[in-house]
Amino acid sequence: PQLDAYWAGSNITAIDRMGINDHGPVHVRIMTNIALKLLRLLIEGGVTPSVVANHGLTNDEAELVVVLACVLHDIGHVIHREEHELLSLVLAAPLIDQLLEPIYDPRAIALIKGEVLHAIYAHQRAIRTLTIEAGVVKVADALDMESGRARIPFEIGGPTIHSVSAMAIKKVRLERGTERPIRISIEMSNSAGIFQLDSLLREKLENSTISPYVEVEGNVVGEEKKILQRYSID
């Protein structure tokens, strides 16, 4: 119930008060699914998760870190959008304890909690991640970019380069790469979508530990779709 309340409150801040895109349970589900796919592709490609390499934990516990970070990374929006990553840390810490105490001993809880909090903190665009798991979380957050998520800010807030470019993203596909473990293929209905790749995804990817293992390609599929009829400056 507490987590549901944080998600609901975060969406009130994001959608109702600020007119930006979803930061609640729908975003969390999509992002978590993407993150697990990324992590599993990395493991299949021979990349060792950081909790395995550094703490002797398992691949399953690497997935646990990723899932918890995805679930909790945006709950700070219930307080404010500004510095929500830091605010999320404050709210997430006791929730992590509650979730892990029935399963793990205090030492394991401390290790896992530290890794989850690192991933939450480092999902900020300009902060460099230090673990594979945090890199996965950071990139997965950026990849929830299909047009459905952009519809609310586009309709409520009016056209901006952010909302128009996001409306151009038709499909994000994750698959095994030919030269690297992960291939991200992004289908666009309009070339404006390049902004999402070149500005938003590029910065998050370059500041993540998984960038050496990822190849990205964007393509306009079919005839270019008109997103915006007219734009004016008042």
Q: Which domain holds residue 12?
A: 2-136
Closest C-alpha to 214, from 169, 168, 181, 178: 181
Provide mean pLDDT across the span 163-173: 80
Question: What's the pLDDT score for residue 162?
Answer: 64
Q: State the maximum Cα–Cα separation within the chain, in Å, rounded to a whole number.
A: 60
pLDDT in tens, 23-55: 678 888 999 999 999 999 999 999 999 999 999
Question: How does DSSP assign 136-195, residue by residue?
Answer: HHHHHHHH--SHHHHHHHHHHH---HHHHHHHTEEEEEEE--SSSSEEEEEEESSGGGHH
The answer to whether position 234 is within a domain reads: no
pLDDT at 83: 84
Q: Does residue 107 form part of some domain?
A: yes
Query: Closest Cα to residue 66, out of 137, 138, 124, 135?
Result: 137
Q: Is residue 127 part of a domain?
A: yes
**Residue 131 domain-assigned?**
yes
Residue 190 lies in a domain: yes
Given a cut of 60, whether residue 104 has pLDDT beyond it is yes
SS3 30: helix
Whether residue 129 is found in the same domain as residue 151: no
CA angle 146, 172, 169 (to 5 degrees): 40
pLDDT at 227: 59
pTM for the predicted model, two decimal places: 0.85
Alpha helices in the chain (DSSP H): 2-11, 25-44, 50-55, 59-72, 84-100, 106-121, 132-143, 147-157, 161-167, 194-195, 202-206
Q: For 198-228, b where at least 16 C-beta lie within 10 A, e where not — what string? A: eebbeebbebbbbbebbebebebeeeeeebe
- Mean pLDDT for 88-113 is 97
Query: Does 12 lie in the same domain as 116?
Result: yes
Same domain, 152 and 82: no
Q: Which pLDDT value is given to residue 232?
A: 44
Give percent of the chain with pLDDT exceeding 90. Answer: 54
The whole-number pLDDT of residue 15 equals 66
- Tell me the angle at which helices 132-143 and 25-44 cross, rounded to the nearest 10 degrees: 130
- The last residue of a domain, from among 136, 160, 183: 136
Residue 69, in any domain of the structure:
yes
pLDDT at 161: 61
Helix (H, G, I), strand (E, B) or coil at 218: strand
Mean pLDDT of the chain: 86
123 and 23 within one domain: yes
213 & 117 share domain? no
User: Tokens 């690192």 belong to which residue?
Assistant: 118
pLDDT at 231: 46
Beta carbons within 10 angstroms of residue 178's beta carbon: 7
Residue 154 pLDDT: 45
Number of domains in the chain: 2
Statement to judge: residues 160 and 131 lie in one domain: no
Residue 225 counted as domain residue: no
pLDDT band of residue 198 (cuts 50, 70, 90) is confident
Question: Which of 136, 161, 185 is the endpoint of a domain?
Answer: 136
The amino acid at residue 97 is: D
Single out the residue in 136, 171, 201 at which a domain terminates.
136
Q: Which of 1-10, 159-168, 170-179 shows the lowest per-residue confidence on average (mean pLDDT)? A: 159-168
pLDDT at 121: 97
